[in-house]
Amino acid sequence: MAVTVTLLGRSLVTSRLCGCVSLSKRLYCSSAKRVRVRDALTSLETGSTFRIQGWVRSVRSQKHNLFLHVSDGSSLQPLQVVASSDLNTRDLTFGCAVDITGSLEKSPSNKQNVELQASRIEVVGECNPVDFPFKIKGHHSLEYIRQFPHLRCRTNAFSSLLRIRSQATAAIHSYFRDNNFLQIHTPVITSNDCEGAGELFQVEPAGNEWNSDKENPHFFSVPAYLTVSGQLHLEVMAGAFPAVYTFGPTFRAENSQTRRHLAEFYMVEAEIAFTESLKDLMKIMEGLFKTTTENLLSHCAEDMELFHKYVSPGYMEQVDLMMKRNFNVISYTEAIDILKHSSEQFAFKPEWGCDLQTEHEKYIVQHCGNVPVFVTDYPYELKPFYARDNQDQPQHTAAAVDLLVPGVGELCGGSLREERLELLRTRLAQAGLEDTYAWYLQLREFGSVPHGGFGMGFERYLQCVLGIDNIKDTIPFARFSHSCVL
């Protein structure tokens, strides 16, 4: 016999909600279709029996009825589950894992399109609300949840971040594939101490007393480091392929705990053969930024909105601005002029020949209307040996370019590479590196081509499009000095 009760101004047939354990057990084992919350939310199959599995985000118990919000990580929005209060149990708490069967019905509320009218609710994993560090009504800051790296993915904000990060990763791969770049897995362990030592991690087998064996002190026979850039390895490939890229972890043993630095972070790096102009590189950088961001705005709208509403209110306008406008291009020399003519009091005095500091970079971006700006043609002496000599005078510059963006400062750095054997040999010899980079010189000896490339910090990109202040909130497991949890 069907008993009708009134619930929030609507009728429910209670026999569908309770007392049908044997039916629900059967459904559980066989006919009920398992669906993700995201698919249930947009399903047109109202009236169908579905099974969902996820974690409880809220519990509200009324006299006759029980309301749950259940999330399974497939979307920010949870699924509302309605059940007879008979199905309530003591272990049905915030954070517990549930397995629920019910009928998907049109929701009478305008907060959601559909809701699941549950006939079976099984708690598969309990969650003691006293011990669980997140509370049902708590508004936990990014800083607070950062203390629980093994649990923070269970919060709305961090699960949104992880969905965005996954989508951004896929979008970046798509961008390069659509433009016919080959993906190269550049090595993590390398014997290059690259841009002249400093802040490298070194690796040896654990438990070995380093250098204790004087004859054979290293596992790899030579000192080995964690990569700070895949560029040189990509340049190898630019001697055989038209365009290559890598997207992987990169390391700096920087003893800093700022909002801007991680010891392990992700870099997107690209190298293009037969390129003779910084314009080619800038086109690719701007394309990468805009295509990826466009992809996120259309595929992760809800998750992006969380950040633009609650984490960095009003930031959507900044993103809109970056998407609509062409990126600016100025030379380093122009940038120094702008800084010198500004009334701003800088901690570091801007001077031709000196590196731009973060304060300078941020000022330049503001000066350019908070639209990203490419700064080109840096002083030759500031750039590493591989940067291509512009052979200009009197202000001797190299064909290098940085992309500066709002909030972050430097997002990308790139250059044409010195492909001319004799110029490169001379510069390496001056630095005493001719032997170390004999292999690199050979790339120019055998079928050298004009080429260039750039790198983009992936976490800084996420900071820039989401308005995230602290870089530690953009990566699943943050590593920095004095911290390597898990």
Residues 19-38 that bind a second copy (CB under 8 A): 36
- The residue from 21, 301, 354, 485 that contacts a second copy (CB under 8 A) is 485
CA separation for the pair 486, 480 (Å, rounded): 13
- The residue from 346, 348, 352, 477 that contacts a second copy (CB under 8 A) is 477
- Does 108 bind a second copy (CB under 8 A)? Our answer is no
- We find the least distance from the C-beta atom of residue 50 to a second copy, in angstroms, to be 14
107 vs 227, which CB is nearer to a second copy? 227
- Does 138 bind a second copy (CB under 8 A)? Our answer is no
Q: Which residues pair with 162 in a beta bridge?
A: none
Residues 401-420 binding a second copy (CB under 8 A) are 419
Sequence-distant (≥ 6) Cβ neighbours of residue 95 within 8 angstroms: 55, 56, 127, 129, 132, 134, 154
17 vs 475, which CB is nearer to a second copy? 475
- We find the least distance from the C-beta atom of residue 259 to a second copy, in angstroms, to be 19
- Does 219 bind a second copy (CB under 8 A)? Our answer is yes
- We find the least distance from the C-beta atom of residue 81 to a second copy, in angstroms, to be 16
- The residue from 4, 31, 109, 183 that contacts a second copy (CB under 8 A) is 183
Residues 230-269 binding a second copy (CB under 8 A) are 232-233, 236-237, 239-242, 248-249, 251, 253, 255, 263-264, 266
- We find the least distance from the C-beta atom of residue 346 to a second copy, in angstroms, to be 31
Instruction: Check if the beta carbon of residue 184 is closer than 8 Å to that of residue 237.
Output: yes
Q: What is 10-62 written as a DSSP string?
A: EEEEGGGTSS-HHHHHHHHHTTSEE--HHHHHT---TT-EEEEEEEEEEEEE-
CA separation for the pair 332, 364 (Å, rounded): 11
- We find the least distance from the C-beta atom of residue 483 to a second copy, in angstroms, to be 6
- Does 308 bind a second copy (CB under 8 A)? Our answer is no
CA separation for the pair 282, 290 (Å, rounded): 12
- Does 334 bind a second copy (CB under 8 A)? Our answer is no
Q: 331-334: long-range contacts at Cβ-Cβ below 8 A with a sequence spacing of 24 or more?
A: 331/375, 331/376, 331/377, 332/356, 332/375, 332/376, 332/377, 332/378, 332/379, 332/397, 333/377, 333/395, 333/397
Residues 441-470 binding a second copy (CB under 8 A) are 442-450
CA separation for the pair 376, 185 (Å, rounded): 29
Residues 51-90 binding a second copy (CB under 8 A) are 53-56, 72-74
